[in-house]
Chains A and B, each alone.
Chain A
Amino acid sequence: MRRDWLAWLAALLWFGALLSGIVGWEWYTLTPGSKGTPVAIEAEPGGWRLTIFVHPHCPCTRTTLTELMDLSHAEPDLAIRVLFVIPPEAPADWWNGPSHTIAESIPGVEIVQDDGTEARRCGAETSGHSLLIDPSGRTIFCGGLTPGRGRDGALRLWLSRMKSPSGERVDAPVFGCPLFTPNT
Chain B
Amino acid sequence: MQSPNQPNTVDSPDYDIEPVLLNLGPQHPSTHGVFRIRTLLDGEEVVDVEPVFGYLHRGSSKLAEERSYTQVITLTDRLDYLSGMTNNLAYVRAVEALAGVEVPERAQYLRVMTAELMRIASHLMAMGFLINDLGAWVTPLMHMFREREKVLDLFEMICGARITFSYMRIGGVSHDLPPGFDAAVNGFLDDFEERVAEYEKLLLENEILVSRMKGIAQLTGERAIECSVTGPNLRASGVNFDLRKQAPYEVYDRMNFDVPVTQNGDNWDRMWVRLQEMKESAKMVRQCMADLPDGITRTEADFFIRPPVGEVYSAIEATKGELGFYLVSDGTIAPYRCGIRAPSFINLTVLRELCIGWKLADLIVNFGTLDINVGEVDR
Do these two chains interact?
no
